[in-house]
Chains A and B, each alone.
Chain A
Amino acid sequence: DIQMTQSPSSLSASVGDRITITCQASQDVSKFLNWYQQKPGKAPKLLIYDASNLGTGVPSRFSGSGSGTYFTFTISSLQPEDFATYYCQQYDYVPYTFGQGTKLEIK
């Protein structure tokens, strides 16, 4: 199975900050990488698909980049509603696998 490693596992930041989360795949997954946001007690929500494409209705402050084994996810200016846990997920190979998550907390 492909292992997805996110960094950092947790992050404290303030409203208005720019933050970046990285995701490393244990082997090449091409562009087949998604990013999700999850709030407590809720299902994950698709934010970015195919590494860099914005999901439906997702604000433009969210962005993604990368290919192969290294990917980044950026929020350009944190808003109060962005404090949540973020996951990367590859879908180049079955089984589809997720990173362990990055918990974004208010500083």
Chain B
Amino acid sequence: QVQLVESGGGVVQPGRSLRLSCTGSGFTFSNSDMHWVRQTPGKGLEWVAFISYDRSREFYVDPVKGRFTISRDNSKNTLFLQMNSLGPEDTAVYYCAKEGSTSGYYWGRFDYWGQGTLVTVSS
């Protein structure tokens, strides 16, 4: 069965960096487009970033552009989110999610999610 396991969350001071990881199993990771989505009590669910299976496409939500970088290592079935210049507004549970659309040109259907990893930005 499809499984996604995130790691790397924790407490970090404002302005510092953190890298999240997500390891996938039970599906062909190297053929799958992937996303990061975050959730806060205040703002709800917010899509953060997308990367295509072959790393040819990347999309980001505006508040993280220039600060966050999504990447992947298909040889290790692992997705990453490098988060720099973190602020209190980045405090959230971060989920990795697998893309469910097979169209090849429409993305944004999150068919499987990890359990999430909590990032807290606080001094």
Contact = CB atoms under 8 A, between A and B. Distances in A.
Contacts of B110: 34, 36, 44, 46, 89
A90 B47 CA distance: 11
Contacts, number: 60
A91 B107 contact: yes
B114 to A, nearest CB: 6
Interface string A68-107: 0000000000000000000101111011111111000000
B44 interface: yes
A91 B100 CA distance: 12
B78 to A, nearest CB: 18
Interface residues of A, number: 25
Nearest to B48: A95
Nearest to A87: B45
Interface residues of B, number: 22
A36 B111 CA distance: 9
A50 B108 CA distance: 11
A1 to B, nearest CB: 8
A45 interface: yes
A40 to B, nearest CB: 12
B11 interface: no
**6 A-B pairs closest in CB distance:** A91-B108, A43-B113, A96-B108, A98-B45, A96-B47, A95-B61
Interface of B: 44-47, 50, 59, 61-62, 95, 100-101, 106-116
Given A36-B110, A46-B109, A89-B108, 11 more contacts: A32-B108, A34-B110, A43-B116, A44-B45, A44-B113, A46-B112, A56-B111, A91-B106, A91-B107, A95-B59, A98-B46
